[in-house]
Amino acid sequence: MYFDKTVPDLRVDGKCVREMSAAEFFRKTWEAVKLVPEGKAAIDTFDYVNVTDLAYLLPGCDNIRFTTEIEPGGSEGVYLDIGVCYTLDGESETKLYLATIKTLDDGAGGFMNMGIAAGLWLYYANAAYNYSFDW
């Protein structure tokens, strides 16, 4: 995978990390989404970004996938759930929710903005993880 210069470098002192806080990982990769004009425009329409405050560690392992789920909000708006699934033993999968994002725009524009943010975040999360973690 080709990584462009906007991919966050999460390494410490130039060395790959073994693990880091899931919230810290999300925040750093979310900042990269804001650097893309379309990403910033989409984010500016969101009502809130709620980042998990749990002290989960994001493990350095090769059985990991980042997830995004866009859902109608029921009574109002659209939600984007961002998470990570991984397995350490090759069998049982663990899913961590990293953030929930909401917009009150429940029309096509709201879904499109969530899709833009989700796609960019997936790109940056995968690139930063593959570049910065030692697994």
Per-residue pLDDT tens over the stretch 93-109:
888 899 999 999 999 99
Neighbours of 101 (CB within 10 A): 25
| Mean pLDDT calculated for residue range 12-23 | 82
User: Rounded to an integer, what distance in angstroms lies between the CA atom of residue 74 and that of residue 78?
Assistant: 8
Average pLDDT, the chain: 87
List, in sequence order, every residue forming a beta bridge with 21; answer none if it has no partner. 57
Cα angle 93, 94, 95; round to 5: 120
pLDDT score of 68 more than 50 = yes
Domain residue ranges in the chain: 19-130
Query: Residue 4: which pLDDT band, with cuts at 50, 70 and 90?
Result: low
User: Rounded to an integer, what distance in angstroms lies between the CA atom of residue 21 and that of residue 55?
Assistant: 6
| Mean pLDDT calculated for residue range 66-84 | 92
pLDDT score of 24 more than 70 = yes
Query: What is this structure's pTM?
Result: 0.87
| Mean pLDDT calculated for residue range 66-91 | 88
Amino acid, single-letter form, for residue 22: A
pLDDT attached to residue 135: 57
